Structures are given as structure tokens and as C-alpha cells.
Amino acid sequence: MAAIPTMRRRMLGAQLRRIRERQQLTADEVATRMKWHPSKMSRIEAGRSGLRAHEVGGLLDLYEVWDPSTRDALEVLAKEGKRRVWWQPYNDVLTPRYLDYICLEADASAALSFETTLIPGLLQTPDYARAVIRALKPERETDEVNALVEVRLARQNAALNREEPLQLWVIVDESALHREVGGASAFNRQLKRLRDAAEQPDITLQILPFGAGAHAGMLGPFVIFEFPVQADLDVVYSEGLASSVYLERDADRIAYRRTFDLLRAAALDVGPSHDMIERRIGEQT
């Protein structure tokens, strides 16, 4: 389950395709100039084949991309990611789509998240996470559930406590503050965890109140991952019951960013959001 290379190849291929198209070059023209078989370009741009860093450099020379930060970022993406990663011990319980998500999260510099019914995974307590995991797939064995809870906690530590923490902006629908996942006591601890998270410098938390009425996010939750160098590497992630969708087209990214901005405007500001969580904690005790 070599997801790190898979995700990085996909992101690298998509970015190289965009650059090529901006230069108004065809894939065949580039393959000819690079002395490659034409099929190699299609495999690269589809994320099915990797590139060495020097090959990326050669393509960027051809495309006349001289910006050092862009070149460095794309050459890093070309590396196969052979370093040991924290989730390797859990490969037997991670589905490919969950592994893809973890890899995106690990490489992202920021995440803009909208949740409709749940507290986001990066802010969940162990008991809350366990109840959610069991509810989504009741037939899971206890050992598998416990392993997935460990994964969720490891994700939190990796994303929020790394040298440069993930910049997390979360908008949570008010309904998530009323759904007593895991029972009253466990849910109260979850609300306190949410309150404490809202006070961390790298986390911005807003609550979308019932009073907002109809809103731009009514079609469901999503996450926008931002990466360190360029906005056009950003990926929108939307999860369904049986499949996940990664959206990278400019039109999709623009549409979801506009939706997130509308949700930000409709949600309570940070201070009132914090106050609403405090009130719910008081109501639970």
C-alpha cells in the first residue's frame, strides 16, 4: 500500500500537466523533446509513473519555469517517499481511500474543513472516535476498532504537533454540538476537547448555527487541502458512503473555496462560537 508515492505522483502529474498546457505544448511534443516514449508522458501526468528529481528539473527547464520554490516543491514531490511513516504499522486496517486521505493530510500545510454532523477527526476524543467508528461499520472486530482509534490519535499528533503544525480552519454545523455520540459523559469530554482546541493558535473554529438557515454547504462535508508552494496544487476532498472524490480542476477548487467563504461568513465568529460550545458544556453537566 505505497500511498505516499501514489499521492505524490498524482499531485506531481497534475501540476506538470497544468504547466505544460499553459506553455501550449502537447504531450507528444514534450515527449519528443525529452526523448521519451509518448506513453511515458501520459503515465506521468496521470500519476501512474514516477519521475526522478533531475527529470522533473529537465521538464521545468523545457517549460521555462525558473522560480526556485516551485522547482524545489515539484522535485520533492518526485521523490518516492521511502522514509518510514507513522502509519506503516496500521497498513492492515487502513483502506486505500483512508490511506490516500492520511497522505494528503501529512503533506498539506493547511486544511479548510466543513463538517455537517460530526466533530472533525483531528479534534475527536478517543471515546468519541470509537463510537463513530463502530457506528459506521458495526461488524468491525474490537481489535480493528481499537487500531483505528489509535490511527486517529496518531493523525492528530502528526498533524497538530509537528514542527510546522497543520493550519486547521474548521466550520462545524451546530447539530454536531447536540448529537451525543458515545453517551452523555463521553460527549461532554468531547465538547471540552473542542473548546480547548479552539484556543490553540493553529486552529480556527467556527460554529454554523441553526439560525443561519439554508446555507452553501447543505450538499455535505468537504475538506480543502492546501500545500506549501502553490494554490494550484490544492485538492478538494469529498467523502461519500462507498467512495471518495478528489477534485483538482480549477473550476472545482474555485467553487469549493467560494462555498467555504460563504460558510465562513454565515458561521459565528470565533468568540461567539467558543461561547456556544461553553453553553453546551454547561447544559451537559
Tell me, yes or no, whether 140 and 204 share the same domain: yes
Tell me, yes or no, whether 28 and 115 share the same domain: no
Q: Which CATH number do you get for residue 59?
A: 1.10.260.40
pLDDT digits (tens, 9 = 90+) for 17-37: 889 999 999 999 999 999 999
Tell me, yes or no, whether 21 and 148 share the same domain: no
User: According to the model, what pLDDT value does residue 186 have?
Assistant: 96
Q: Is this structure's pTM higher than 0.95?
A: no
Position 248 pLDDT exceeds 80: no
Tell me, yes or no, whether 33 and 163 share the same domain: no
Domain count within the chain: 2
Tell me, yes or no, whether 117 and 209 share the same domain: yes
Task: Taking residues 5-12, report their average pLDDT.
Answer: 69
pLDDT digits (tens, 9 = 90+) for 139-148: 999 999 999 9
DSSP codes, 34-92: HT--HHHHHHHHTTSS---HHHHHHHHHHTT---HHHHHHHHHHHS---S--TTGGGTT
Domain residue limits at 10: 3-78
